């Protein structure tokens, strides 16, 4: 049986190729991207002065005197990673879009900074599994072979 397993190197090569493809697909799917990055309060400090003013409400246009104020409740906008940010009630959609674009670029920068470490981790996992499979195959194929006849002097 061992000879049958070890002689079928095509089978082992096929398994190695399938493992490589599965690992590559998994790595591509799980590659850090902007929507996958969790919110960090430090992001709000990294916004440009224009975007910070929009979030604080300092740059928002005040309604004209006598114009009806529909609501004082803050407007909630969802960012690309799912975080909901509160904006002043008088914030327009266009001004919120400015903050959203900048917030997304901060998320993208954080994600791209994690790419290399993530890929190195995945290559190490791929290589470790292949080496382990090679070790197991080697033990089956060339495991402890003791030739008792030659070792103990019997012809």
Helix (H, G, I), strand (E, B) or coil at 91: coil
Task: Convert the pLDDT of each residue in 85-144 to its tens digit.
Answer: 888 877 888 888 999 999 999 999 999 999 899 999 999 998 998 888 878 777 776 656
pLDDT of residue 104: 92
pTM, two decimals, is 0.65
Task: Convert the pLDDT of each residue in 105-115 to its tens digit.
Answer: 999 999 999 98
| Domain limits for position 85 | 2-151
Task: Convert the pLDDT of each residue in 34-61 to its tens digit.
Answer: 888 888 888 888 888 888 888 887 655 5
> What's the first-to-final CA gap in the chain, in angstroms?
27
Q: Is the pLDDT confidence value at 5 over 60?
A: no
6 confidence band (pLDDT: 50, 70, 90) = low
Beta bridge pairs of residue 84? 78
Phi, psi values for residue 78, rounded to 5° = -90, 130
pLDDT of residue 75: 83
Helix (H, G, I), strand (E, B) or coil at 105: helix
| Tally of domains within the chain | 1
76 confidence band (pLDDT: 50, 70, 90) = confident
pLDDT of residue 134: 78
In terms of Cα–Cα distance, which of 109, 118, 139, 129 is closest to 18?
Answer: 129
Helices and strands (DSSP H and E) totals, the chain? 6, 2
């Amino acid at each position: 049986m061992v000879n049958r397993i070890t002689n079928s190197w095509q089978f082992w090569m096929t398994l190695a190729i399938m493992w490589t493809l599965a690992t590559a697909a998994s790595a591509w799917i799980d590659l850090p991207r902007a929507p996958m990055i969790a919110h960090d309060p430090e992001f709000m400090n990294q916004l440009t002065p224009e975007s910070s003013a929009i979030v604080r409400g300092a740059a928002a246009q005040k309604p004209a005197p006598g114009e009806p104020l529909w609501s004082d409740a803050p407007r909630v906008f969802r960012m690309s990673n799912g975080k909901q940010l509160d904006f002043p009630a008088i914030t327009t959609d266009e001004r919120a879009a400015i903050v959203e674009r900048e917030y997304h670029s901060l998320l993208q920068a954080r994600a791209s900074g994690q790419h290399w470490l993530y890929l190195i981790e995945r290559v190490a996992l791929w290589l470790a599994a292949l080496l382990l499979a090679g070790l197991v195959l080697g033990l089956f194929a060339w495991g402890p072979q003791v030739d008792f006849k030659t070792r103990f002097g019997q012809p």
